[in-house]
Amino acid sequence: MEPGEPTAAVTIAPTDAPDARLEAVLSDGLQDHFVATVGQSDSRTLAVAVTDPATGAPVGGLLGRTSQGLFFLDLFYLPASLRGGGLGGRILAAAEAEAIRRGCVAATLITASVQAPDFYAKHGWEEFGRIACVPGIERIFFRKTLAPR
């Protein structure tokens, strides 16, 4: 479809089961637009895996991405049996160190009031906003300066 072409040639439909190709179309399209506008893109996945040494299977970890000097922490999970002994802090520190190595100067994440806001605050993350969602739960936005500008 060309710019300016009528949108009647497409359909729109909300879904909770998107076509498997949708993520690639969105990601590739946004990256192409960014490169055309800015001249380059440095978006990269950043993951820290926690694996079971007996099986090699992943049991938890962290998943995010780095882009244009920012680290976006998207998912972070540890099973209850691995919490409370400092492992989470080590995972977070490893991700932050890798983000700094990649040239990131700041980081951001969204968590929920029923998840781990105290954990992030304990590790130097600063809350900068809240949005109420279902009764009794809020989404909390955090940021952290990773390196001096």
pLDDT tens digits for 122-141? 999 999 999 999 989 999 99
59: left (phi over 0), alpha (psi -120 to 50) or beta: alpha
Cα Rg of the chain, angstroms: 19
Predicted confidence at residue 85, as pLDDT, reads 96
pLDDT mean over 142-147? 94
Cα 117 from Cα 125, distance rounded (Å): 9
Query: Does residue 107 contact residue 72 with C-beta atoms inside 8 Å?
Result: yes
Cα 122 from Cα 116, distance rounded (Å): 10
Could you tell me the domains of the chain?
Answer: 42-145 (3.40.630.30)
Mean pLDDT of the chain: 91
Predicted confidence at residue 6, as pLDDT, reads 61
Predicted confidence at residue 3, as pLDDT, reads 61
